[in-house]
Structure 1
Amino acid sequence: MSTENDSLGGFLRHRRERLSPQEAGLSPGGRRRTPGLRREEVASLAAISSDYYGRLEQGRLTNASSATLASLARALRLSLDERDYLFRLAGQEPPSRHSAYAHIDPAMLFLLDALSETPAQITDDLLTVVAQNQAATALLGPWTGLPDFDSNVTWRWFADPSSRALNVPEEHAAIGRAYAADLRSGLARRPAREKYGTELAKDLLERSAEFRNLWEDHEVEPLTSSAKRIQHPEAGVLDLQCDVVLSPATGHRLIVFRPRPGSGAGAKLSFLSVLGEQNFD
C-alpha cells in the first residue's frame, strides 16, 4: 500500500468529515454520530458506488479515473487548489480549464444545490453538462459523466435526433440554430486548435448535414434566456423560461428551467420533483 494513496484516502476522509450535509445540498436527517457526510452520501453525490469510494478512502485503490476525481472534487466542494491537490495525490496532472473535468465555481454549485425544486444544470462554455440537480435529472434525464461527447447538449442535438423528443417540434429549428451559434462563440474563446472543442466540431461537421448548413452561416452568439416548451412523458407540456447565468471565474454556465408565470408549469415541476425523489430512493 503506497504512501501516496494513503494520503489520498486521508485527504478524502478529512474533507468528507468537515463538510456538512447542508453545505453539500443534502437534508441533515436524524442525529449523526460523527461530523460531516457519510461515505455513502459522498459516493451518491459523486455518482460512484459506496464500495468503490470506501476503497479509495482506505488506500486500496490506485487507479481512480480523471472523471471520478473530478466528481469527487465537486461532491466535496473543493476549491481549485484543493482539486489540483487531489489530482496530484492520485498521481495525475490537474485538468486544464477547458477540460471536461475542469473546476466548477463553488458559488455556482451552491446555487445549483439551493434550486432544489427548480431544474438546473451546470455546463462548460461548449454546453457540456458537468453537474445537475435532482430536479433537472427528473425533467431531462441524466446528462453527466457520459462517454465521448454524449454529455454535450449541442452534440447530442445534432448527432442523436432522439434527444429532441422533449422539445416541441415547432421549436427545433430555432434551438438548433442557437446551439450552432453558441458553439462557434465558445470555440472563439478557447485557444486555437484546442483538442476537445476542435474534435467536437469536426465530428458534427462529418456526421450532420443540418449542422453543416448552420455552421456555414457563421453565426456567433452565446445562449441567452429563452422560452422553451418541454413535453415530458409523465408531466405533459411545461412552459418554461430557460435562464443562463455565467460564472466569470470559470466560464461555466448555470442553466435554470423556471416555470413561466401563469403557465401551471410550477405544479408539474413539483410533481416531477416528488417522482424523482421516489426514483432516487
Structure 2
Amino acid sequence: MKRHLDAAPDPIAGAADPGWRPTPGTQVTDRIQLGDFLRRRREALRPEDLGLAPGPRRRTPGLRRDEVAAMANMSTAYYESLEQARGPQPSVAILASIATALRLTPDERHHLYLLAGHAPPTAAEPPDYLDPGLAYTLDAVAATTPALISDDLSNVLAQNPLNVALFGTFADRPGHERNLTWHWFTSAHWRSVLRSASPREEEATSLLYVADLRATVTQRGHDPAAATLVADLREASAEFAGMWDQHRVSTLRCSTKSVFSEQVGRLDLDCVILASPLSRQRLLLLQPVPDTKTVDRLSRLQLLIGGGR
C-alpha cells in the first residue's frame, strides 16, 4: 500500500517566499533548482527501462509524476509540491526514496541532497580498501615526511616508515587501538608524544577531534561503526563526553607539534591533512617546520631505519 506523506508547515520558505531570509549558518533548500532537477531527471527516464508500458496516453517524455511518487512510496501531491518548488524541506529518508525511484547516479544523488539542504551521505568502503591517490602520495613522501592514511573516523589504515619509526605501528592493531581519536582521549602517553605548546592548545585539539567526529557521524548516517566509537569514547573519557554534548561541528585541522624521538631528538612538525575527493580517507602529513633542525634530524632518522632493513 502506498504511504501518503502530508505536507507539513514549511520550515524553510526559500524561493517561494521573496521576503524570507535564512538564519545564518543554516542549510537552505534551493527550491527552484531542486524542482527543476527532479523534473528533468523524471523526464529523462524511459518507462520501458523501468518495466512500465509506454502507453498511448503519454503526451510528455519520461515518467509521470504519479509513477515516480508510487516508486518512491509517497503521495503524488507531495512529490508534485517538490517539483513545483512549494513543498516542505524533504527529509533524508524521502530523498533516498526519490533518488532510488529516479535511478540517480552517485553524483546526481550527491547533488540532490545538497539542493535539498542536507549533507550527502558517504558511501561505505570495503575494510581493506586504500585510496590509490593517497597511497601513492604516502609512498612519494616517504623519504622526507612522516605520514599516514586514516579513514574519516581516524582509524589508521597505512603508515610510511618514518611515521612508524616515530609512533609505532597502528594500522594492524585491533579495534579502537588503531584509532587516533581514541588514543587522544584515553592515553596520557599519546598526548605526551604529540606535545602541545600549552594546555589551551591541547584543549583546542581535543575540541577539533570531537567536532570532526560529530560531523563524520552525521555524514555516515549514524552507522554502527560511528555509533559504537562515540558510545565507547563517552564511557571511557569524561572530557570527550563533555565536549560531545557541546555539539560542535568542524573539519579536522591540526597545529604544529613537537615530537621527541629517542633516536634523533626533538622534531618540530607542521601537520597537514589532505582529504580525498574519491573516498572517506585522508592523508595526514607531518612536514618539518622551516628554519629548524627537523629536516636534518628526519634525514638522519631515515638513514637509521633504512640501514636497519
Is the structural similarity TM-score above 0.5? yes
The Cα of 1:123 is off from its aligned counterpart by 0.5
Matched, 1:149 2:176: yes
CA distance in 1, matches of 2:158, 2:126: 11
CA distance in 2, matches of 1:100, 1:223: 23
Residue correspondence of structure 1 range 104-115 to structure 2 within 5 A: 104-115=130-141
Instruction: Report the residue type matching 1:213 in the other structure.
Output: G
CA distance in 1, matches of 2:221, 2:135: 26
Question: Aligned pair in 2 of structure 1 residues 276, 163: CA closer, same or farther (>3 Å)?
Answer: same
Q: Tell me, yes or no, if the aligned pair for 2:150 and 2:157 is still in contact at 8 Å.
A: yes
* C-alpha RMSD over aligned residues: 1.9
Query: 1:57 maps to what in 2?
Result: none
Q: Tell me, yes or no, if the aligned pair for 1:186 and 1:222 is still in contact at 8 Å.
A: no
Question: Aligned pair in 2 of structure 1 residues 126, 100: CA closer, same or farther (>3 Å)?
Answer: farther
CA distance in 1, matches of 2:254, 2:175: 28
Query: 1:210 maps to what in 2?
Result: 239
Instruction: Report the residue type matching 1:159 in the other structure.
Output: T
Matched position secondary structure for 1:226: coil
CA distance in 2, matches of 1:114, 1:184: 32
Query: 2:284 maps to what in 1?
Result: 255
Matched position secondary structure for 2:175: coil
Q: Tell me, yes or no, if the aligned pair for 1:180 and 1:214 is still in contact at 8 Å.
A: yes
Query: 1:121 maps to what in 2?
Result: 148
Instruction: Report the residue type matching 1:103 in the other structure.
Output: Y
Q: Tell me, yes or no, if the aligned pair for 2:270 and 2:289 is still in contact at 8 Å.
A: yes
Q: Tell me, yes or no, if the aligned pair for 1:129 and 1:153 is still in contact at 8 Å.
A: yes
Between 1:219-228 and 1:128-137, the stretch displaced more is 219-228
Matched position secondary structure for 1:127: coil
After TM superposition, which residue ranges in structure 1, 4 or more long, deviate above 3 angstroms? Answer: 96-100
CA distance in 2, matches of 1:184, 1:155: 14
CA distance in 2, matches of 1:104, 1:160: 27
Matched, 1:164 2:191: yes
| Unpaired segments ≥5 residues, structure 1 | 1-95
- State which structure, 1 or 2, has the greater radius of gyration over its C-alpha atoms: 2
Q: Tell me, yes or no, if the aligned pair for 2:205 and 2:254 is still in contact at 8 Å.
A: no
Matched position secondary structure for 1:157: helix
Query: 2:300 maps to what in 1?
Result: 271
Q: Tell me, yes or no, if the aligned pair for 1:159 and 1:207 is still in contact at 8 Å.
A: yes
Residue correspondence of structure 1 range 178-257 to structure 2 within 5 A: 178-192=208-222, 194-224=223-253, 226-257=255-286
Query: 1:176 maps to what in 2?
Result: 206
| Unpaired segments ≥5 residues, structure 2 | 1-121
* Deviation by residue 1:72-125 (Cα, 9 ceiling, x = unmatched): xxxxxxxxxxxxxxxxxxxxxxxx954672522212111111112211100001
CA distance in 2, matches of 1:201, 1:142: 23
Matched position secondary structure for 2:232: helix
Query: 2:117 maps to what in 1?
Result: none
Matched position secondary structure for 2:256: strand
Q: Tell me, yes or no, if the aligned pair for 2:208 and 2:253 is still in contact at 8 Å.
A: no
Instruction: Report the residue type matching 2:166 in the other structure.
Output: L
CA distance in 2, matches of 1:221, 1:102: 27
Matched position secondary structure for 1:142: coil
Q: Tell me, yes or no, if the aligned pair for 1:100 and 1:128 is still in contact at 8 Å.
A: no
Q: TM-score, normalised by structure 2?
A: 0.56
- In the alignment of these two chains, the number of paired residues is 184
CA distance in 2, matches of 1:164, 1:155: 11
Question: Aligned pair in 2 of structure 1 residues 160, 98: CA closer, same or farther (>3 Å)?
Answer: farther
CA distance in 1, matches of 2:243, 2:304: 38
* Deviation by residue 1:155-179 (Cα, 9 ceiling, x = unmatched): 1111222222212252432222221
CA distance in 2, matches of 1:103, 1:255: 17
CA distance in 1, matches of 2:126, 2:262: 30
Q: Tell me, yes or no, if the aligned pair for 1:120 and 1:133 is still in contact at 8 Å.
A: yes
Instruction: Report the residue type matching 1:177 in the other structure.
Output: L
